[in-house]
């Protein structure tokens, strides 16, 4: 069996690593790793490969940044010859970034079976580029590896045949479980004792001057009760500079490596984010999460986890933060199959399919 994995952006790396490892342990599987280059450089890409102990990509398409249409088209035209040459039995794509959808389209058109890891998540919000990527990728995929029951239900309601759906659990949690003991050894010095950890990069939050200013002001207000540690995504850093906004009272840093971020996340009083994956990681860690979005494609983090959706409502953020600071934090439980073994279940499923 020959499996070709496609990764491109930061959140893909921690999802692919456990599957690469599990397939490697299965033996007799040829694996090829293609990096589209959607994210690039030391702190957005390279450090993840070393910390997650992933093999270096066999091919890097070197696409880089651009508009959605340009980036998607560029990935497609650079990926097609690779696929024609390598002809794997399966192409595995991860998550919901542009690289995911672009690679799935190329593979499907060449008649190569596509497996989508993290299938079935829906925010039902078509203004999110990721929602378009999720729906298109799932429509094209032959194997849909889902993290939770709601994802199965979404796919079934869209008419996906149940035999294509494989509930394997949350593969990103596999990486977390494996590296949490390493993160626990990261020294605490240099960081405040009690802090809120912030990440922010959604276009809906950071691409508009007013919404970004509003959020930054809310974060500065929070510093009255907690320090705010904020590793800044390149998109957000660009916007802050472009709009001339200020955030002096916040502890700003460059994007962090996986292990250092995990250390900060696991020790935070609260995490304030618009990321998808961080809503899940905080639920696993039992750390309260306030999500600055009006919806989530990961509802299980709200229904049984520690996540609260606060939108861009400053008052709601204030109220929820006050609850955390006063010790009245939301507790939760870990969803089924978020147990560190999702990658093995994916490998076993692939191994059981005729190729």
Q: Compare residues 204 and 349 and give the one whose CB is closer to ligand UD1.
A: 204
Q: Is 270 helix (H, G, I), strand (E, B) or coil?
A: strand
Active-site annotation holder among 5, 39, 166, 201: 201
Burial class for 60, CB neighbours closer than 10 Å (0-12, 13-18, 19+): middle
Selected from 201, 239, 267, 341, the binder of ligand UD1 by CB under 6 A is 201
Residue 2 appears among annotated catalytic residues: no
111-130 binders of ligand UD1 (CB under 6 A): 129-130
Q: What is the dihedral of CA 254, 256, 262, 266, to 10 degrees?
A: -10
9-68 binders of ligand UD1 (CB under 6 A): 9-11, 38-41, 44, 65
Biggest CA-to-CA distance, the chain: 60
Q: Compare residues 10 and 166 and give the one whose CB is closer to ligand UD1.
A: 10
CA distance 248 to 230: 11
CA distance 155 to 164: 10
Tokens 């304030």 correspond to 272
1 binds ligand UD1 (CB under 6 A): no
95-114 binders of ligand UD1 (CB under 6 A): 96-98
Task: Name the DSSP class of 58.
Answer: S
Antiparallel, parallel or unpaired: β 270-273 and 227-231: unpaired
Q: Compare residues 130 and 138 and give the one whose CB is closer to ligand UD1.
A: 130
Stretch that binds ligand UD1, among 5-13, 138-146, 262-270, 329-337 (CB under 6 A): 5-13
Q: Compare residues 9 and 23 and give the one whose CB is closer to ligand UD1.
A: 9
CA distance 279 to 277: 5
335 binds ligand UD1 (CB under 6 A): no
Q: Compare residues 156 and 254 and give the one whose CB is closer to ligand UD1.
A: 254
Least distance in Å: CB of 71 to ligand UD1? 6
Residue of 131, 134, 96 lying closest to 293 (CA atoms): 131
CA distance 90 to 99: 16
Point out the residues that are catalytic: 201
Binding residues for ligand UD1 (CB under 6 A) = 9-11, 38-41, 44, 65, 96-98, 129-130, 201, 233-235, 238
């Amino acid at each position: 069996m020959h499996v070709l994995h496609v990764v491109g952006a930061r959140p893909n790396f921690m999802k692919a690593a456990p599957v690469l490892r599990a397939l490697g342990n299965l033996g007799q599987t040829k694996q090829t790793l293609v990096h589209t280059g959607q994210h690039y450089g030391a702190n957005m890409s390279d450090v993840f490969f070393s910390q997650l102990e992933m093999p270096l990509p066999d091919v890097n398409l070197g696409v880089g940044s651009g508009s959605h249409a340009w980036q998607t088209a560029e990935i497609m035209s650079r990926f097609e010859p690779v696929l024609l040459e390598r002809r794997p039995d399966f192409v595995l794509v991860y998550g919901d970034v542009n690289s995911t959808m672009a690679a799935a389209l190329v593979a499907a058109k060449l008649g190569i079976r596509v497996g989508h890891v993290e299938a079935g998540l829906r925010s039902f919000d078509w203004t999110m580029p990721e929602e378009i990527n999720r729906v298109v990728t799932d429509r094209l995929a032959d194997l849909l590896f889902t993290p939770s029951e709601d994802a199965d239900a979404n796919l079934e309601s869209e008419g996906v045949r149940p035999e294509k759906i494989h509930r394997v659990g949350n593969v990103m949690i596999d990486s977390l479980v494996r590296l949490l003991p390493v993160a626990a050894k990261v020294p605490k010095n240099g960081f405040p004792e009690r802090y809120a950890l912030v990440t922010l990069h959604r276009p809906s939050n950071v691409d508009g001057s007013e919404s970004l200013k509003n959020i930054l002001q809310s974060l500065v207000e929070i510093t009255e009760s907690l320090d705010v540690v904020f590793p800044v995504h390149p998109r957000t850093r660009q916007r802050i500079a472009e709009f001339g906004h200020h955030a002096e009272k916040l502890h700003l840093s460059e994007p962090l490596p996986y292990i250092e971020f995990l250390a900060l996340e696991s020790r935070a009083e609260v995490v304030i984010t618009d990321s998808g994956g961080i809503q899940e990681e905080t639920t696993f860690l039992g750390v309260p999460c306030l999500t600055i979005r009006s919806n989530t494609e990961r509802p299980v983090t709200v229904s049984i986890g520690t996540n609260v959706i606060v939108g861009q409502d400053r008052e709601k953020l204030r109220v929820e933060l006050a609850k955390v600071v006063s010790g009245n934090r939301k507790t939760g439980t870990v969803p089924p199959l978020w147990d560190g073994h999702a990658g093995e279940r994916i490998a076993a499923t692939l191994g059981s399919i005729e190729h």
